[in-house]
Amino acid sequence: MTAAGRPYAGTVVTPLVDGFGRVHRDLRISVTDRCNLRCTYCMPEEGMQWLPRDQVLTFEELERVARLAVERFGFESIRLTGGEPTVRAHLPVLVAKLAALGVEVSMTTNGLTLASQAQAYADAGLSRVNISLDTLRPDRFLELTRRDRLADVLAGVDAAVAAGLGPVKLNVVCMRGVNDDEIVDLATFGRDRGVEVRFIEWMPLDEDHSWSPGAVVAGEEIIAAIAAVHPLHPLARGSEPAAVWAYDDGLGTVGAISSVTEPFCGSCDRVRLTAEGALRSCLFSHDETDLRALLRSPASDDDLTSAIAACVAGKRAGHQIGAVTFVQPPRSMSRIGG
Ligand code: SAM
Ligand code: SF4
Query: What is the number of the ligand closest to the CA of 144?
Result: 2
CATH code at 276?
3.20.20.70
Cα separations in angstroms, 87 against 84, 243, 247, 300, 337: 6, 30, 36, 31, 14
Is residue 260 one of the residues assigned to a domain?
A: yes
> Does this model's pTM top 0.85?
yes
Ligand number nearest CA of 31 is 1
Kindly give the distance from the C-alpha atom of residue 283 to the centroid of ligand 1, in angstroms, as a whole number: 12
Using alpha carbons, select from 256, 253, 247 the residue that is nearest to residue 228. 247
Mean pLDDT for the stretch of residues 289-310: 98
The atom of ligand 1 lying closest to the CA of 30 is 7
Mutate which of 40, 43, 51 for ligand 2 pocket (most atoms within 8 A of beta carbon) = 43
Packing angle, helices 114-124 and 91-99, rounded to 10 = 30
Q: What is the model's pLDDT at position 31?
A: 98
Please, which residues have CB within 8 angstroms of residue 312's CB and are 6 or more apart in sequence? 16, 17, 18, 24, 271, 281
Residue-level pLDDT at 208: 87
How far away, in angstroms, is 294 Cα from ligand 1 center?
Answer: 29
Give Cα separations from 159 to 119, 153, 231 (angstroms): 8, 10, 29
Distance 42 CA to ligand 2 centre (A): 6
**173 domain residue, yes or no:** yes
Q: Is 105 in the pocket of ligand 2 (CB under 6 A)?
A: no
Give the separation between CA 221 and CA 227, rounded to whole angstroms: 10
The answer, yes or no, to whether residue 174 has pLDDT greater than 70, is yes
Q: Which atom of ligand 2 is nearest to the CA of 333?
A: 3
Dump pLDDT digits (tens) for 182-228: 999 999 999 999 999 999 999 998 888 989 999 999 999 999 999 99
Count CA within 13 A, CB hemisphere, residue 238: 4
Give pLDDT tens digits for 141-169: 999 999 999 999 999 999 999 999 989 99
Specify the residue with its C-alpha closest to ligand 2, atom 8: 83
- 197 in any annotated domain: yes
pLDDT band at 262 (very low <50, low <70, confident <90, very high): confident
Question: Which domain range does residue 94 map to?
Answer: 16-336
Instruction: Indicate whether 278 pLDDT > 60.
Output: yes
Q: What is the pLDDT of residue 105?
A: 98
Q: What is the pLDDT of residue 293?
A: 98
Residue 1 lies in a domain: no
**Residue 4 burial (C-beta neighbours within 10 Å; 0-12, 13-18, 19+):** exposed
Q: Does ligand 2 lie within 6 Å of residue 82's CB atom? A: yes
Number of domains into which the chain is organized: 1
Q: Is residue 300 part of a domain?
A: yes
* Model confidence band, residue 4 (pLDDT cutoffs 50, 70, 90): very low
